[in-house]
């Protein structure tokens, strides 16, 4: 689990879902907590993230996003699948978080899927401030939103 500074002495928690080359797939939770408190991460309700996104691991390596504990990843949080345009043959295909290609997609199927994208750690922090009304909410932050793949 990671503590992400939001504003002043307030933090939100995040969890690394997958480690990628130089990046991480991160689930970010809505709770806004005091950075001056100590938390038992296993006792917190952290099964329903607000964001699920790929970001660089720089803030973790620098210690800006501090490691505050470990816990199992919720079964509800699955690595996303994306769409990618493949030329040739000129079609959308499924792509996993690691870049592996899968089945062909119809235009209707592809229209409901996202392209794989990585966001800077600063965008994650700004989106948290916007979510909590502590900064502007930008339409681009919608791309970070957690979308469950479970029915």
| pLDDT in 10s for each residue of the chain, 151 residues | 999 999 999 999 999 999 998 899 999 999 999 999 998 888 888 878 999 999 999 999 999 999 999 999 998 899 999 999 999 989 999 999 999 999 999 999 999 999 999 999 999 999 999 999 999 999 999 999 998 765 4
Q: pTM above the 0.85 mark?
A: yes
- C-alpha to C-alpha distance for 20 and 2, rounded to whole angstroms: 17
CB 54, CB 119: distance < 8 Å = yes
122-134 b/e (C-beta count within 10 Å ≥ 16 → b):
ebbbbbbbebbee
Q: Where are the beta strands (DSSP E) in 8-97?
A: 10-19, 23-28, 33-34, 51-56, 66-67, 82-86, 91-95
Domain locations in the chain as residue ranges? 2-78+116-144
């Amino acid at each position: 689990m990671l503590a992400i500074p939001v504003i002043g002495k307030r933090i939100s928690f995040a969890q690394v879902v997958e480690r990628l080359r130089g990046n991480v797939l991160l689930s970010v939770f809505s709770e806004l907590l005091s950075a001056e408190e100590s938390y038992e991460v296993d006792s917190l309700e952290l099964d329903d993230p607000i964001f699920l996104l790929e970001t660089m691991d720089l803030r973790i390596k620098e210690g800006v996003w501090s490691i505050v504990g470990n816990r199992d990843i919720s079964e509800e949080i699955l690595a996303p699948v994306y769409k990618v345009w493949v030329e040739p043959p000129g079609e959308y295909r499924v792509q996993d978080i690691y870049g592996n290609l899968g089945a062909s997609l119809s235009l209707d199927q592809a229209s409901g899927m996202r392209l794989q994208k990585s966001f800077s750690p600063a965008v994650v922090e700004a989106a948290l401030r916007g979510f909590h009304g502590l900064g502007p909410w930008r339409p681009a932050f919608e791309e970070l939103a957690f979308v469950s793949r479970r029915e």
